[in-house]
Amino acid sequence: MTTSIYLVKALDNYPYNMEECFESLNYALSYDENNAVGLCLMGKVQAELFRNIPLAIEYFEQALAADLSYAETYRHYMNVLIATEQLEKAKAFLNFSKGKIPYRKAELLLFEALILEREHKWKKALKVLGKALGNAYSECMIEEIDRVKSRIERKNK
* Residue 157 pLDDT grade (very low, low, confident, very high; cuts 50, 70, 90): confident
Domain boundary among 86, 121, 136: 86
Same domain, 51 and 113: no
Same domain, 57 and 130: no
pLDDT in tens, 73-100: 999 999 999 999 999 999 999 999 998 9
Confirm whether 93 is domain-assigned: no
pLDDT of residue 1: 75
- pTM score: 0.93
pLDDT of residue 35: 97
Same domain, 43 and 107: no
Domain coverage including residue 35: 1-86
pLDDT of 47 over the 90 cut: yes
Same domain, 69 and 105: no
16-26 burial code (b ≥16 CB/10 A, e <16): eeeeebbebbe
pLDDT of 13 over the 80 cut: yes
Domain boundary among 38, 55, 86: 86
CATH number of the domain residue 44 falls in: 1.25.40.10
Domain boundary among 86, 116, 140: 86
Same domain, 133 and 82: no
Same domain, 79 and 3: yes
Into how many domains does the chain fold? 2
* Residue 72 pLDDT grade (very low, low, confident, very high; cuts 50, 70, 90): very high
